Chains A and B, each alone.
Chain A
Amino acid sequence: MSAALPEAATAVRPGRLRRLAALLDPRAGPARWPILIALVTILAWVVVGATIDLWAPYDPVALAGRRLQPPNASHWLGTDALGRDVLVRTLYGVRFSLPIAAGVLVTAVAIGCVLGALAGFFGGLLDGVLMRLADVTLSFPAMLLAMAIAASLGPGLFNAGLAMVIVWWPIYARLMRAQVLSVRSLEHVDAAVAMGASSPRILVRHVLPLCWTPILVNATVDISQIILLVAGLSFIGLGARPPTPEWGQMIAEGATNFYNWWIAAGPGLAILALSLAFSFIGDGLRDLLDPRSR
Chain B
Amino acid sequence: MRAGQMKAALVLGIAVSLAGLAVPTRAADTRPLVVARNMDLTSLDPARSFCDTCQIYLSAVYQTLVTLAADNRTLAPNLATSWEVSPDQTRFVFKLAPNAVFSDGAPVTSADVAWSLTRLKNMKSDASFLMEALTAVETPDDKTVVLRTAQPNSEFLNMLASSYAGIINRKVAEANGAVGGENASTADQADNWFFANSAGSGPYKLALYRNGDQLRLVSNDKFWGTAPKVAEIIIKQVPDAVAQLQMLQTGGADVAMQIDPDTAASIKDQNLVLDTVPSYNFIYLALGVGSKANTVPLTKPIREAIAAAIDYQGLIDFTVGGKGRPQPVAIPNGFPGTTDLPLPKQDLALAKAKLAEAGQPNGFTMKSAYPAVNSYGVDLSLMMQKLQQDLGRVGIKLELEPITFAVWRERVAKDGIPITASYYAPDYFGTVQYVQFFSMMSTSSWVKRSHADKVQGVVNEKEGELLKQALAATPTEAERIYREIALEMIGDKVIIPVVSPDLILASRKGVTGVRYSACCNLALSQVGRQ
Contacts and interface: CB of A to CB of B under 8 A. Distances in A.
Nearest to A67: B318
B400 A243 contact: yes
Nearest to B379: A256
Contact of B266 (A154, A237, A256, A260): A260
B262 A241 contact: no
A155 B403 contact: yes
Contacts of B401: 154-155, 241
A259 B241 CA distance: 11
A82 B386 contact: yes
Contact of B242 (A82, A243, A258): A258
A236 B242 CA distance: 18
Contacts of B372: 237
B242 A83 contact: no
Given A241-B401, A242-B400, A260-B262, A83 B318 contact: yes
Given A155-B401, A243-B400, A259-B267, A68 B262 contact: yes
Nearest to B402: A237
Interface in B296-315: none
A24 interface: no
A259 B402 contact: no
A114 B242 CA distance: 49
Interface string A145-185: 00000000011000000000000000000000000000000
Contacts of B374: 256
Interface string B260-302: 1011001100000000000000000000000000000000000
A259 B385 CA distance: 21
Interface string B366-408: 0000001010000101101110110000000001111100000
Contacts of A259: 242, 262-263, 266-267
Contacts of B403: 155
Contacts of A242: 381, 384-385, 400, 402
Nearest to B384: A242
Given A242-B384, A243-B388, A256 B402 contact: no
Given A241-B400, A243-B400, A260-B266, 11 more contacts: A61-B385, A61-B389, A62-B389, A155-B402, A243-B385, A243-B388, A253-B382, A256-B379, A257-B262, A258-B242, A259-B242
In the A-B complex, list the 4 residue pairs whose CB atoms are closest, starting with the nearest. Answer: A259-B266, A258-B242, A243-B385, A242-B385
Interface of A: 61-63, 67-68, 81-83, 154-155, 237, 241-243, 253, 256-260
Interface of B: 240-242, 260, 262-263, 266-267, 317-318, 321, 372, 374, 379, 381-382, 384-386, 388-389, 399-403
22 contacts: A61-B385, A61-B389, A63-B389, A67-B318, A68-B321, A81-B262, A81-B382, A82-B318, A82-B382, A82-B385, A83-B318, A155-B402, A155-B403, A237-B372, A241-B399, A242-B384, A242-B402, A243-B388, A243-B400, A256-B382, A258-B242, A259-B266
